[in-house]
A and B are shown apart, each in its own frame.
Chain A
Amino acid sequence: MDITNKKILICDDSVLARKQLMDAVKEIADGAIFLEGRNGTEAIELYKKEKPDIVFMDIVMPEKDGNEALSEIKAFDQDAVIIIVSSVGTQDQLKKAIQLGAKDFIQKPFEKNQISEIIELRLGGK
């Protein structure tokens, strides 16, 4: 799939988790521009500066967590496409993420096909 110049922001405090997500995208799509954030604060700054096409966001992060970042980004841009990727897949958390405006929720460890489905759905037709 060609997603040339589509911007993908991956926000996770784990350098390994960011790499694994990037690798999963690269396996099925070419040309994306990756942006990386290590906490919620960096995610908000990067979002405002770069206006990425899609955001993959962890929840448990230092400084500012994913829920807060999700809420602030949605306040800034209500059309932001934010996918939560977290190990904390409780019903409460799921509800909260959807209420705050997340488009989808992926429980870690993710399967590569979950990422490819989302990329196809959210970026494939554009």
Chain B
Amino acid sequence: MFTQFLGNYLLQKGIVTRDQLFNAMARLSQSHIKLGTIAIHEGLMTANEVDECLYIQTREDKRFGEIAVARGYLSEENVSDLLSKQTPDYILLGQNLVEDGIISYEDLERIIFDYKADNELYDLELDVENSGIVQSIIEKFFLMAEMPANDLNVMYLELMFNSLIRFIGEDFSPLTPMIVDEYPITFGVSQAVIGDRDYITHIDCDRETAIAFASRYAKEDFSEFNEYVIAALEDFLNLHNGLYIVNVSNQQSKNIELAPPEITEEGVLMGVNKCVDFPVAYPFGIVHLIVSY
């Protein structure tokens, strides 16, 4: 999930455009981490040293590892350790941006440092999908929207990001959430979650985005807006809310029920208390997850 968080950070800081980010994200599954990138990440080489070795590699027919060892930047042991290491996807995202010429290795080194600093992650490694870190970053999404980051809110959004990764694809970036009094509906589906506190969950997007979203969810190639597209959106929301109530039931022994999903094609969405919009950007469009309390 750190790939998506880093994407959000890069967009917020104006380091990349949305198109640049999506180009780099789209290649994540086909990209392989390079020794230089991982050496920087592990703190064994500086960006300048990596750049130097890469420059030499353009003139000499040698592997990166051989050059780095010959110049004394890495030992043979370092190379074999690095080759066997698993690196997180967010580093791969950074590498793709370097390869696209959007940022340099030096920029990447600084961005990762700043990102960790901004999120107070000094003593923590991002290598593992540590749930504590994920939750602390998700709490910041609520703070951005001036919402209380209570356990259930955090659990809901974390599961939503996981559901998006699992059922739609990892190539999205969460955008800045917003609290709104009313949300004008474009097209979407809603589902009420009924428990101690009732609330309405809603997915909203334009029709073209809905077709692309549904195609990914159903693993089919929908070309027009039809009942299957609508059903796919409903199924996604229902599935995600189902996972949420299973989690709540397991962790807090609370009994929560779901109402059947409904299609919402016009009007405004509003909550008695608040309506919060968590937009996520995919290459095919922006999908709004709205929760009204």
Contact = CB atoms under 8 A, between A and B. Distances in A.
B260 A90 contact: no
Interface string B192-230: 000000000000000000000000001000000001100
B231 A90 contact: no
Instruction: Give chain A's interface secondary structure class.
Output: loop
B242 A19 contact: no
B192 to A, nearest CB: 11
Nearest to A13: B260
B260 A15 contact: no
Interface of A: 13-17, 19-20, 60-62, 86-92, 108-109
Interface centre among B242, B243, B250 (most CB of A within 10 A): B242
Contact of B259 (A16, A20, A60, A89): A60
Given A16-B231, A17-B231, A60-B260, A88 B218 contact: no
B37 to A, nearest CB: 35
Pick from A15, A87, A109 the residue with the most CB of B within 10 Å: A87
Nearest to A108: B239
B201 to A, nearest CB: 13
B228 A89 contact: no
Size category of the binding interface on chain B: 20 to 34
B235 interface: yes
B228 A87 contact: no
B238 A16 contact: no
Given A16-B228, A61-B260, A62-B260, A87 B249 contact: no
A50 to B, nearest CB: 24
Nearest to B240: A87
Most buried by B among A15, A62, A91: A15
A78 B42 CA distance: 64
Given A60-B259, A89-B246, A91-B249, A15 B239 contact: no
